[in-house]
Amino acid sequence: MEELRLKYNEEKASFQIANFLSRHLLPETVFLCIGTDRFITDSLGPIVGNLIFRSLPPIYYVYGTLKNPVHAINLEENLRYIKKKHPYSKIIAVDASLGEEENIGKISIKKSPIHPGKGVGKILPPVGDLSIVGIVDSFHAKDLNSIRLGFIYEIAETIANGILIASYSKSLSF
């Protein structure tokens, strides 16, 4: 399986993300940014969605922003809508994840779906042809809202910048 793993603050992290993504972007790709701003640890997806929503070239689509989040309660409804409106589009899912302490701050991009809610015991459908996951806290954290919003935002900026670089460079070749 094709995969990229890197720390959010590595030098040129956004360019590494862009390089990986540009091999997979097609016109009408959908970015599905999962999460909610009601919990800081789950806000990565909608922050990324917000950061790319107005700046993405018009041949791509974004679902999941701070204003209109896609989360556990409305995920299946949104997936039905996306599959109806964009039946042949590739979906790139973006979500936060819990992991081992030493992996906090790492970003993982895989050519496989993500399983939203898995880290907190929810059973939701797998999502995406490609997945971008930011590890924001530990599985073992006693208080999942002890993480700083600024930290989540920094990870989101790295991911969003990578998406924007890839989308602009790729859109020039279509």
Which of the two residues, 138 and 31, has the higher pLDDT score?
31
**Above 90 in pLDDT, residue 120?**
no
Using DSSP's 3-state secondary structure scheme, residue 15 falls into helix
Q: Nearest 5°: CA angle at 101, between 45 and 8?
A: 45
Average pLDDT value for residue range 83-111:
96
Q: How far apart are CA 4 and CA 108, in angstroms?
A: 6
pLDDT, one tens digit per residue, over 29-82 is 999 999 999 999 999 999 999 999 999 999 999 999 999 999 999 999 999 999
pTM for the model stands at: 0.94
pLDDT at 124: 85
